[in-house]
Structure 1
């Protein structure tokens, strides 16, 4: 009998990830993380009903402009800091090692909360779909944990497998949404006709625009992860910037068009009459109306696969963040191992799978609603965290290039665009915080938002996690100066 130790795949001594991903493959990875159909079918209806109503589509366009400005500085940094750590690396180079560690832990919070929020939503969708077809009424969290296991299996293997799966699913979900928009435009059945009402100032400022902005920015989370795949990219100095711009522009145009089509399908006035508890099924009902039973079945299936693509993509991002941090000496070294056969950060993948499963189990024990609490609350945390992270990265870009002017002398790329992006992100963060209690239901009898226990706890996470990183940096500086010094290295011009 073969010795089990011999049959196990050896661990690759080289801890660097390798691959030949092109622009298209990376865009598929990050756009899949943005999960177009999940956004239009899940987040957009909530953004409309909890946010600013018919004016919600305009917030996608505004968010795209802000994030495109941010991307200019991000792309400039990817060319001079040839490392895959993204926020962790860029903030460290620009604002110092402790700040870089603070950013790393905030990034872990961001991607963990957005991933687990979608795990809650996909569990709910599977539950209602299976029970609606006459199957057993299994609790949502059982489905969520099953999906976590499948994601973990794919994440354990080479990333090329994940990128191919994501590519197929992404094409399908984009196709069905564009088909729905086309049906709304050309059928002549839009109840209130076609108009640009969603883009008027009156509708933009109506309701709770801060809540709407939170859902709009959340829809883009993942595009910035292009830099995470640097080591696995072909010609990364060209591939990463191009993939970043393509992702932001493509996501922004698609979401603006698709959400406009959804509003037109129901009507700018009629959309406000949709009950909140029917938000999760709005896209399915609307598709059935315009594309018939076949369209309804297709979009129901693709909505599930869209959420699966989303959590798979974020799983890949998280495992690579942990891998980069482990190789920097700030997480257990085991997480930096690379599988000899699959060339994947397999140990990091296993840890991330276990983390997601434990969180879903905890939410189940607490009795949280998978959509109005797990999905909404934790997507809100992720959105605020990513806005803060991007604002810090914008400052880091400006600071780095002020010290290293010869690395890139273009004012637009290294100063003007990052400053404009920073202003937009800070304003967005302030608005999200102001409206955060409404999103989690912390309001008094008159409907006035109050920062109750839930709001305070969730917002505190955005403070506590970077503080952990900052403290770890201080401890490393005192106890392990060599490790601390290696967190960032000087980049020659």
Structure 2
């Protein structure tokens, strides 16, 4: 009987790996660009700082320094915890592990409402800012809706592409918008201001005035989104070092740059004149200053760069929202389709598509209702988002000491107790200031303001019955929530 040769068994090829985020793509500077771009420094300075000067007087620069110091204190405990909580859920994961799953689920809802509110409302600003720019440069009037819809498409594409593409684009836009403010500063400093340079803005008698409360409210709002550094942890190089560094750099840059730029604006008119100018025509304050000290061409460039500043802010918030959507899909809370990652670009493209679709719906609803892109779409949608993110900062600060009490660690008491408790008190005071001056942010009726203030706590509280339902119907998802 002839010998039979043994059958050759061919191993099945390994299943292709699931596409994932581009790990190791972002350095400290890249993450800092995302955070600072979200704050939109040029837009905040040209659009909001004149109001802070009008209300708080020449001591307004100190308000931005105080806000920056408060958030630096918050960052001490926040970044200490970031070394121990390594998932992509950022705020809600921190709050879950410090305060429990029901609070964490409420925080997840609050994060989605907060970041979406901060981003979608800004499409109204994009439309109105572009209208103003086209009118200033060409004397033409254009409708705002097509601009906002084109912006939605551009931002969707930026989020669809790889994260390093977004970082490079934001780097260019951020350098441009800060560059025009540096140019203004150089012109003012070289010419010695309107009547010589003065440090009276930092004198206690000019800082400790009733209007400083309003300045602080504007100042805290100007930092919104700085904490999103931790959202990019999975895409960062050496995240234990990169994320804390980017957080501190972002806070320090924004605090110092805001204070310096507001001081420059004051010097361009002089201490005696600037409050009157800011009160009578706040929208033109920075344009008048740069025309006087640099030239009319620089004012034209500033008009254009305000539009690109808004685009940079939109893209930064869009990328943050996408990663929250991805994290919640990975948790099993959102549909799994939201967690799909593009095989080529490494981007959470389905979460981005859903977010852009939501933005388009909101924009179209406001347009169909005949509402103003700035006074209604921006302010009515942005304000609840801002309060939501500030509430998340407060909850995260509260969560830090509770988290470190439950684990074995080698962090010092300053980082785990003293700084978080101080941050809790300071952030609580900041939220109270914003709420007490909410009419300055919205220009709306008392009833509308009450509704906007109520959104954040209502959304957070809604998380508790949803957590109970999740625990009863999907216990495996509930048990794993926020634990990655």
- Farther off after superposition, 467-476 or 197-206: 197-206
Are the counterparts in 2 of residues 218 and 380 from structure 1 also a CA contact under 8 Å?
no
Report the secondary structure of 2:294's partner residue: helix
Gaps of 5+ in 1: 1-10, 444-451
Deviations 1:36-70 (A, max 9, x none): 11111122123333x42332221110111110010
Q: TM-score, normalised by structure 2?
A: 0.91
Report the secondary structure of 1:73's partner residue: helix
Other-structure match for 1:71? 75
Other-structure match for 1:122? 126
Other-structure match for 2:329? 326
Are the counterparts in 2 of residues 131 and 137 from structure 1 also a CA contact under 8 Å?
yes
Are the counterparts in 1 of residues 20 and 343 from structure 2 also a CA contact under 8 Å?
no
Report the secondary structure of 2:254's partner residue: helix
Deviations 1:14-35 (A, max 9, x none): 4555342111111111111112
Tell me which of 20, 24, 45 is aligned to 2:25.
Answer: 20
Are the counterparts in 2 of residues 60 and 256 from structure 1 also a CA contact under 8 Å?
yes
Matched, 1:266 2:240: no
TM alignment of 1:139-158, pairs within 5 A: 139-158=143-162
Change (3 A) 1:173 1:417: same
Are the counterparts in 1 of residues 117 and 386 from structure 2 also a CA contact under 8 Å?
no
Tell me which of 84, 97, 104 is aligned to 1:93.
Answer: 97
Cα distance in 1 for partners of 2:381, 2:205 equals 29
TM alignment of 1:310-325, pairs within 5 A: 310-325=313-328
Are the counterparts in 2 of residues 180 and 287 from structure 1 also a CA contact under 8 Å?
yes
Cα distance in 1 for partners of 2:235, 2:322 equals 14
Matched, 1:352 2:355: yes
Other-structure match for 1:44? 49
Other-structure match for 1:476? 470
Cα distance in 1 for partners of 2:211, 2:17 equals 52
Matched, 1:194 2:197: yes
Change (3 A) 1:350 1:135: farther
Cα distance in 1 for partners of 2:381, 2:276 equals 26
Cα distance in 2 for partners of 1:464, 1:338 equals 32
Are the counterparts in 2 of residues 211 and 436 from structure 1 also a CA contact under 8 Å?
no
The 4+ residue runs of structure 1 with deviation greater than 6 A are none
Aligned length: 469
Change (3 A) 1:456 1:355: same
Cα distance in 2 for partners of 1:459, 1:138 equals 33
Gaps of 5+ in 2: 1-15
Change (3 A) 1:375 1:273: farther
Are the counterparts in 2 of residues 12 and 340 from structure 1 also a CA contact under 8 Å?
no
RMSD of aligned residue pairs (Cα, Å)? 2.1
How far is 1:239 from its partner?
A: 0.8
Q: TM-score, normalised by structure 1?
A: 0.90
Matched, 1:34 2:39: yes
Cα distance in 2 for partners of 1:368, 1:56 equals 32
TM alignment of 1:458-469, pairs within 5 A: 458-469=452-463
Deviations 1:104-128 (A, max 9, x none): 1212222222223322222112112
Are the counterparts in 2 of residues 15 and 336 from structure 1 also a CA contact under 8 Å?
no
TM alignment of 1:35-434, pairs within 5 A: 35-49=40-54, 51-134=55-138, 136-190=140-194, 192-206=195-209, 208-274=211-277, 278-404=281-407, 406-434=408-436
Larger CA Rg, structure 1 vs 2: 2
Cα distance in 2 for partners of 1:428, 1:72 equals 18
